[in-house]
Every structure is written in structure tokens, then in C-alpha cells.
Amino acid sequence: MTENQIANKVIGVAFDVHKALGPGLLESAYKECLCYKLLEEGFFVEKEKPMPLVYEEVKLDCGYRIDLLVERKLVIELKSVDALNDVHMAQTLTYMKLGDYKLGLLINFNVSLLKNGLRRVINGSL
């Protein structure tokens, strides 16, 4: 599956999770439910995947962690905030650059309509 195909399926699952839970929960609740549903759908999912930082040829564990990495291709950064902002986009893009991933989804579940909390993040060309 391509990154876009994976992303489309993940978005569908995220809509299902949001429809069932609604806004107002902690990010961790949405992460666990989304991970569970993606695994149930047959996806390979890594939760809280460590992302080391390489600085001056030294690999440093700075505590960076991708919320969910699907099929070793798609970065998913989850939020439950009043509004997404540039810092959230930068965080997602940083994870993508550190791992050399092409596509990410930034999903804010704390919205009444999930489509308003969804951002596709592209690193390079797809």
C-alpha cells in the first residue's frame, strides 16, 4: 500500500473513533482507541515509536516519540486541543524528517467535526 492509501484508510478509522467517542477526552484515550482499531483492521502499528536525534554524528535519545507509525510509512500525531497551530505542524514535520517519512497525519480529536481537526503533512514529494 502507498502512503496515500494507508492515510485514506486511517482517516476512515479516525472518523469512526471520533464518532464513537466525540470530543473532550485526553489524547491518550484517542491514541489507544485508534491504535486498537487499526490493529483490528490488520495494520502494523507502532505506538510511541522512539525517534532519536542525530547531532554532530551522535545519536541522542531526546525523548521524541511518534504517537503512531502505521505500516512503517505513515506518521500519525494526535492532539486533543482547542485548535491546531504551527507548533503542532512543526512537531509532526520534525518527526517525519528525523525518520525520513513522506506523509503524516496531524489529527485533533477535540473538535465537533473531525474534518476540521485533520491535517495532511507532506515531507518532500509523494
Q: How many domains does the chain have?
A: 1
The dihedrals phi and psi of 101, each to the nearest 5 degrees, come to -100, 145
Residue 62's pLDDT is 74
The answer, yes or no, to whether residue 125 has pLDDT greater than 70, is no
Show the domain range for 45.
Answer: 3-122
Average pLDDT, the chain: 94
Helix and strand tally (H, E) in the chain?
3, 7
Give the residue-averaged pLDDT of 80-95. Answer: 95
pTM of the model as a whole: 0.92
Residue 126's pLDDT is 58
Determine the angle formed by the axes of helices 27-40 and 3-21, rounding to 10 degrees. Answer: 120
Give the residue-averaged pLDDT of 47-55. Answer: 86
- pLDDT tens-digit profile of 9-48? 999 999 999 999 999 999 999 999 999 999 999 999 999 9
The dihedrals phi and psi of 33, each to the nearest 5 degrees, come to -70, -45
